[in-house]
Amino acid sequence: MKKVILLVMLLPLQAFSQIVIELPVQNNLQSQSEGLISFISKECGNIIISEIMADPSPPVGLPEDEYIEIYNRSGTVIDLGKWQLCIGNQCITFSQVEIKGDEYLILCSHTDTSKFRNYGRVIGFKSFPSLPAEKGTVFIKDSQDKFVHGIEYTSDWYNNKLKEAGGWSLEMKDTDFPFHTEGNWQASDSGAGGTPGKKNSVSGTNPDNTFYGIENVFPSDSLTFEITFSESVPYLPELQEPLSIEGHQVSLISGSDRLLRRFIFRMTEPLRKGEVCTVTISDGLTDFAGNLAARGSFRFGLPVTADKRDIVFNELLFNPLPESYDYFELVNCSNKIIDASQLFTVSINPETGDTSALKCISQEGRCIIPGSLYAVTTNPENIASIYNSSDRENIHKASSLSSMPDDKGHLLLLSRKMDVIDEVVYSEKQHYPLISDNEGISLEKIRPDLPSMTGSNWHSASESSGWGTPGAVNSVYNAVNSSGDQLILSSRRISPDNDGNEDVLIIDFNLEGNGNIISVTIFDETGNFIKNLAENFLSGDHATLAWNGLNESGSLVQTGIYIILVNLYNDKGKIRSFKKVCTVIR
């Protein structure tokens, strides 16, 4: 027979508190039991932050003072007594005040209340915290310290550079979906610069029909990890098994932010180095609007330091469309798990040799799994919308990128110790020669495992791919031939029309020892010289060369049969010659 024990607390429990309960059983204390007691307020999503004025200068038509507007969308009167409004880490407490259903309240400093009385009902606070102009977190909790509503805003939400400069508020568009931020906040359309105390000028429909799901999983140590969701998941603490990891037992131990997006879990068995784990969330986990997660699983592991060429450049967009942004893509060629926050880039001016400021590719820890792609840009949504062959899951936001000039550039990838992991020198001349305008077209590696400094290993992304594949397999990718022959051609023909199919001829060499000298010359079928592909090229036991159908002057050759003459000799005096035939079709 089950028994129910009623716990009466002398003080209110804090959200995400971890407590120890001792139960007497037959005059003995049962083993201590730890459990996470977590709550959301019964008013969660009923009282919401609907407008903020974070940068009131220069004023447009409102007082030159900061304010926050809250709205009661419940339809009933709610007592705000002893509730708290928090801006960052500073919290202020409401006095005994009620807010009616469908009513707005203007919150500001007590010295500014008289300035806002003409706009609506005002509540002044003696120590109203300042709102950061660029980025800030604002949230409300009730008298029991339970989460009600919150946002993490940025100046990007204005979506208007003129209004971002000051004097305009940020307004919520659709208050029926208060935890939905994508497209749900923008600069006020009011001629006064804002609408404190009344319905927002941008009010409209912006339904929350999707929930992206897991954005990141990163270990704090071998036993604990933090999981980050794309938006608030207020009901996660109420699920008995919110997530699972094959081969591990996990338990929720705390929430690591007050917006209910980040949670810390603990495993019973430690992670092993090199072990890649997959976190899978419960089928019952939804966002506030009830949407199931589109991305319900995520891979992670214990990261280690990257060494030279463990992770390399794989794709570059340095001349974006006018409405778009630069990006670069990395590929993890090692069997290591690498932390993106420990990687940096720097740009070198090809003319002067001057270096740009160091740029970290991620402000937070992120696991780059072996074999995975990691594209970096300042606007992932924009890049994903323009390049239809992209994979949004592998495109990540950086606060800024190293300089990538449109004509030519030089990038270094560095470790935290400033060791060079990879480098690439690029030029617009590496693009397919028949492309008259390379704006918006990326350069892709043909073979990710080959050195990034090998110019012939880069090629324009194909037109059929949409001119770029950020976060996805390169359109010109050519797999390594596993044959044991000394000389292998990727095909007996090439069609250098930039359609992503046989645009480049790959020549693989499987040799012995490290002192091999390679010379490759291309002739047409009548014996006329076409191109020196390699001349006395020093190689180890493996080498790869690529021919893109260009002659020595950089022009595309005509349709026809071409002879590839290969001469090899090594440090032991052994000489070998090969003659291969390739057809060019244009």
Q: What helix, strand, coil percent values describe the chain, rounded to 5?
A: 5, 40, 55
Q: DSSP code of 340?
A: G
Q: Looking at 147-242, which runs of residues are DSSP E strands?
A: 147-154, 170-172, 185-187, 211-219, 224-229
Fold classified for 479-586: Immunoglobulin-like (2.60.40)
Q: Are the C-beta atoms of residues 478 and 447 closer than 8 Å to each other? A: yes
pTM equals 0.79
Confidence of residue 407 (pLDDT cuts 50, 70, 90): very high
% pLDDT > 70, the chain: 92
Rounded CA gap, 179 and 138, in Å? 13
Q: Are the C-beta atoms of residues 25 and 3 closer than 8 Å to each other? A: no
Q: What is the pLDDT of residue 541?
A: 77
Per DSSP, the three-state class of 90 is strand
Confidence of residue 1 (pLDDT cuts 50, 70, 90): very low
Per DSSP, the three-state class of 144 is coil
Instruction: Please give the C-alpha separations between residue 76 and each of 25, 46, 73, 381, 418, in angstroms, as whole numbers.
Output: 46, 9, 8, 38, 59
Rounded CA gap, 395 and 373, in Å? 9
For 151-168, letters b (16+ CB in 10 Å) and e give bebebebbeeeebbebbb
- The β-bridge partners of 40 are 147
Confidence of residue 7 (pLDDT cuts 50, 70, 90): low
Per DSSP, the three-state class of 115 is helix
What is the distance between the terminal CA atoms of the chain, rounded to a whole angstrom? 82
Interval 378-395: pLDDT, tens? 999 999 999 999 999 999
Per DSSP, the three-state class of 572 is coil
Domains 47-187 and 306-477 share a fold: yes
Average pLDDT, the chain: 90
Rounded CA gap, 397 and 381, in Å? 9
Q: What is the pLDDT of residue 77?
A: 97
Strands 575-584 and 493-494, by their bridges, are parallel
Rounded CA gap, 67 and 70, in Å? 10
Domain residue ranges in the chain: 47-187, 211-300, 306-477, 479-586
Q: What is the pLDDT of residue 140?
A: 97
Rounded CA gap, 315 and 84, in Å? 48
Interval 414-439: pLDDT, tens? 999 999 999 999 999 999 887 889 99
Interval 73-108: pLDDT, tens? 999 999 999 999 999 999 999 999 999 999 999 999
Per DSSP, the three-state class of 457 is helix
Confidence of residue 28 (pLDDT cuts 50, 70, 90): very low
Rounded CA gap, 522 and 134, in Å? 58
Confidence of residue 441 (pLDDT cuts 50, 70, 90): very high
Strands 293-295 and 211-219, by their bridges, are parallel
Q: In what order do the strands lie in the sheet with 458-460?
A: 395-397, 373-377, 327-332, 311-317, 443-445, 458-460
Rounded CA gap, 170 and 212, in Å? 24
Mind spelling out the 3-state secondary structure of 460-483? ECCCCCCCCCCCCCCCCCCCCCCC
Interval 226-271: pLDDT, tens? 999 999 988 787 777 888 998 888 887 777 788 989 999 999 889 9
Q: What is the pLDDT of residue 354?
A: 85
Residue 275 predicted with pLDDT over 80: yes
Interval 542-554: pLDDT, tens? 788 889 899 998 8
**Architecture in CATH for domain 211-300:** Sandwich (2.60)
Q: What is the pLDDT of residue 25?
A: 43
Residue carrying the six token digits 């110019």: 455
Confidence of residue 484 (pLDDT cuts 50, 70, 90): low
Cβ neighbours of 51 (radius 10 Å): 25
Q: What is the pLDDT of residue 239?
A: 79
Q: What is the pLDDT of residue 39?
A: 53
Q: What is the pLDDT of residue 33?
A: 36
Interval 184-225: pLDDT, tens? 999 999 999 999 999 999 999 999 999 999 999 999 999 999
Q: What is the CATH number of domain 306-477?
A: 2.60.40.1260
Dihedral (CA of 255, 261, 264, 265) sign: positive
Of the candidates 507, 445, 450, 436, the one whose C-alpha atom is nearest the C-alpha of residue 475 is 445
Q: What is the CATH number of domain 47-187?
A: 2.60.40.1260
Residue carrying the six token digits 């995520």: 298
Q: What is the pLDDT of residue 371?
A: 96
Burial of 424: CB neighbours in 10 Å, binned 0-12, 13-18, 19+: buried
Q: What is the pLDDT of residue 476?
A: 85
Rounded CA gap, 480 and 517, in Å? 21
Q: What is the pLDDT of residue 229?
A: 95
Interval 298-338: pLDDT, tens? 999 999 999 999 999 999 999 999 999 999 999 999 999 99
Q: Tell which phi-psi region holds residue 159, choosing left (phi > 0), alpha (psi between -120 and 50) or beta.
A: left
Rounded CA gap, 433 and 436, in Å? 8
Instruction: Please give the C-alpha separations between residue 301 and each of 271, 370, 371, 391, 507, in angstroms, as whole numbers.
Output: 7, 10, 14, 21, 37
